[in-house]
């Protein structure tokens, strides 16, 4: 059995080391008053600076469009854009989304008979928005979420559907930063991303990757600029 003869050593060593490296206080520092006055002067100076806090919840913060609040379903002309493809539910890390698909006669073809997000599980990661091919689920600005029971925390379509007009800022943000391909490489109008069948007979598939196409287009742009 190993001998336990060195148990006191680390404690002794640490005490000695700390004591040796401790800075010696001068007379004023030992009094503490100058430091207290310095802190009070700093606080006084801050009183005249512009306020950066707000009196929540009386005052509400309006977050910028990049903010990821609770996920909501986009309501377009009275109906959800969602086609119940299930991609968001598959991508959701904490498995917060559940839905049931059904078929319809209109060009949209599919819709969710129920769509639920368990807000106790949601971690606001935004992956559902990222994978949605229809821009049907987006992150809203709503961060003020409360519930009194587990049942209340399960948001169904009645709580999730928000008219697209109210989500304009986020949709514009996504358009600018995510959907840059619209009007550039794909031969279908932006509206066709929503609810409608894409013109599949048109030969938009050039066999090039998006990166290759970007490079090709940049090269064309530079060429046309230099000839002008």
Using the rule CB under 6 A, which residue among 34, 126, 183, 189 binds ligand SF4? 126
Cα-to-chain-centroid distance, residue 74? 16
Do 170 and 126 touch, CB atoms closer than 8 A?
Answer: no
Per-residue x/- track, 56-75, ligand SF4 (CB under 6 A): ---------------x----
Do 82 and 115 touch, CB atoms closer than 8 A?
Answer: yes
162 vs 208, beta carbon nearer ligand SF4: 162
Do 139 and 70 touch, CB atoms closer than 8 A?
Answer: yes
Do 124 and 69 touch, CB atoms closer than 8 A?
Answer: yes
* Closest by Cα among 167, 159, 143 to 65: 167
Using the rule CB under 6 A, which residue among 84, 138, 160, 167 binds ligand SF4? 84
Q: Per rule CB under 6 A, is residue 87 in the interface with ligand SF4?
A: yes
Report the nearest approach of ligand SF4 to the CB of residue 100 (Å): 11
Q: Per rule CB under 6 A, is residue 174 in the interface with ligand SF4?
A: no
Report the nearest approach of ligand SF4 to the CB of residue 184 (Å): 23
Using the rule CB under 6 A, which residue among 75, 116, 122, 138 binds ligand SF4? 122
Measured CA distances, 192 to 104, 112, 209 (Å) = 18, 20, 21
Per-residue x/- track, 97-116, ligand SF4 (CB under 6 A): x-x-----------------
Using the rule CB under 6 A, which residue among 108, 134, 186, 195 binds ligand SF4? 134
Q: Per rule CB under 6 A, is residue 138 in the interface with ligand SF4?
A: no
- What is the Cα–Cα distance from 145 to 148, expressed in whole angstroms? 11
Report the nearest approach of ligand SF4 to the CB of residue 180 (Å): 20
99 vs 186, beta carbon nearer ligand SF4: 99
Q: Per rule CB under 6 A, is residue 160 in the interface with ligand SF4?
A: no
Interface residues with ligand SF4 (CB under 6 A) are 71, 82-88, 91-94, 96-97, 99, 117, 122-128, 131-132, 134, 136-137
């Amino acid at each position: 059995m190993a001998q336990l003869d060195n148990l006191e050593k680390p404690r002794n060593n640490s005490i000695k080391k700390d004591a040796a490296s401790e800075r010696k206080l001068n007379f004023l520092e030992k009094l503490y008053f100058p430091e207290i006055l310095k802190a009070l002067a700093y606080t006084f100076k801050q009183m005249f600076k512009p306020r950066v806090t707000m009196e929540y919840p009386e005052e509400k913060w309006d977050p910028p469009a990049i903010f990821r609040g609770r996920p909501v379903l986009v309501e377009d002309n009275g109906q959800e854009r969602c086609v119940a493809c299930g991609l968001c539910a598959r991508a959701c890390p904490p498995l917060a989304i559940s839905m049931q698909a059904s078929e319809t006669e209109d060009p949209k073809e599919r819709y969710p008979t129920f769509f639920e997000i368990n807000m106790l599980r949601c971690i606001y990661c935004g992956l559902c928005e990222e994978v949605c091919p229809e821009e049907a689920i987006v992150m809203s600005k709503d961060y003020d979420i409360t519930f009194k029971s587990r049942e209340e925390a399960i948001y169904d379509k009645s709580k999730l559907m928000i008219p697209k007009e109210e989500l304009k800022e986020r949709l514009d943000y996504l358009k600018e930063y995510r959907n840059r391909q619209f009007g550039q490489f794909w031969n279908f109008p932006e509206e066709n991303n929503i609810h409608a069948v894409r013109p599949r007979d048109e030969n938009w598939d050039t066999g090039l990757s998006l990166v290759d196409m970007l490079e090709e287009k940049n090269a064309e742009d530079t060429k046309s600029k230099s000839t002008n």
